[in-house]
Amino acid sequence: MTDLADILLPSTARGTAVILIAAGDWEKKRRDLAADVRGWADANGFEAQAGRVLAVAGPKGELKEVLVGSDGSDPFAPGRLCRSLPPGAYAVTGSVAQPEMLALGWCLESYSFGRYGKAAQSVAKLVCPQGVDREAVLRAARASWMVRDLVNTPASDMGPDELEQAARAVARAYKAKLTVTSGKALEKGFPMIYAVGKASPRAPRLIDFAWGPARAPKVTLVGKGVCFDTGGLDIKPASGMALMKKDMGGAANVLGLAQMIMAAGLKVRLRVLIPAVENSIAGNAFRPGDVMKSRKGITVEIGNTDAEGRLVLGDALSLADEEQPDLLIDMATLTGAARVALGPDLPPFFTDNEALAEDIARAGREVNDPVWRLPFWQPYMRLFESSVADMNNAGDSGFAGSITAALFLKRFVEKAKAHVHFDIFAWTPTARPGRPKGGEAQAMRALFEVIRRRAT
């Protein structure tokens, strides 16, 4: 497997010059070029058009330097050079507004999923720009690669067992203490997790690990780990199941965020909770109309077995809330409604904490990890009314699906000092700079920045 440290070289390494030139700066830059380079650029009609690449040869035919046009619209865009340049090491200079984003984009663009034999394309190496914290870039890139690997792996090789092993590997690497409650042992303390996962031959479980000093600020991460979702007895159509291997994307992103926190040695008391299940169909599957009693004591009527993620999260959030964390974050591939509202690239988040909301939005902009706030609109709780239980898990309205799902989860959080819910897609349907098609880390880097700044 490729080591990211072999792609992002230390700033002391040497590399062929790559000169980024903004289109508006071309005329000035052109005058500064050596005569032979200027003539070569003119002969090729190079005017620093966005994305245009011009290789310049030296007197012996060697690659002397590379001119690249840039419009600055996406700080990850220069990262695509890793696949278009010949093998070797390169040092980027010129119009680089965000050198740390250039370095991260290069690393993220270098990713490929090769578990099943598809040969990975070789990539060019980048000399880390001066002044950039190389270790911080590598931490973020390694976490993103891990998230992508987990999400891209099909459910045949990424069930609750394998997700537990992935969590154990992360916990073991940083000496975190991990416990797992599985199978029938869930029935008493985590009845909704058990009910959702019991129809699968792969036992449901709650993965729980903790790291850091007990007296540090408590940060708890909860990730939806539905390793495959058939929809249950309210079965999905074939088109709806096609990407359900990614329904554990919340758990994958939580593991990536936890790895970043521990690798950076942030001064927090970290706890990670992952309800890992498959929503399968069998004679003992939970049914529409069933009423479940949650860990918190709230009773839930099942309006739709395909709204299972909020059930397993409800029990996990209840446990997390009992510890009264300073910050409680949950991440889940929860609703299609979030995609309808904001598309696949912009995950919504929900919180009642204004300062936290501002911090998250600001961090997302700064680290090129965009997010968008949606409201906990309390009047929509009426859409979950049940005639036989405290609430329904789906209700009979198609309106405001992402908001109502967030409100459902909010019922299980009372004691946390701050809570934020992310409804992520965890997938890139069409490749963009730094974001190859496939599994994706979303909001992870923005959240790390918020936690890092609060922990210092």
Helix (H, G, I), strand (E, B) or coil at 157: helix
Q: With beta carbons less than 8 A apart as the criterion, state whether 129 and 96 touch.
A: yes
Residue whose C-alpha is closest to residue 377's, from 412, 395, 345, 402? 402
Residue linked to tokens 């859409």: 383
Residue whose C-alpha is closest to residue 229's, from 334, 306, 123? 306
* Contact partners, residue 35, CB within 8 Å, separation at least 6: none
Residue linked to tokens 């002397």: 64
* Contact partners, residue 374, CB within 8 Å, separation at least 6: 341, 348, 349, 350, 402, 403, 406
Q: With beta carbons less than 8 A apart as the criterion, state whether 181 and 265 touch.
A: no
Strand pairing report for 327-332 and 419-423: parallel
Q: What positions carry a catalytic annotation?
A: 236, 310
Size of the chain in residues = 456
Residue linked to tokens 């942030």: 266
- How open is the CA angle 311-313-318, to the nearest 5 degrees? 105
Q: How many other C-beta atoms lie within 10 A of the C-beta of residue 251?
A: 32
Residue whose C-alpha is closest to residue 135's, from 280, 5, 302? 5
* Contact partners, residue 343, CB within 8 Å, separation at least 6: none
Name 421's bridge partners.
330, 350
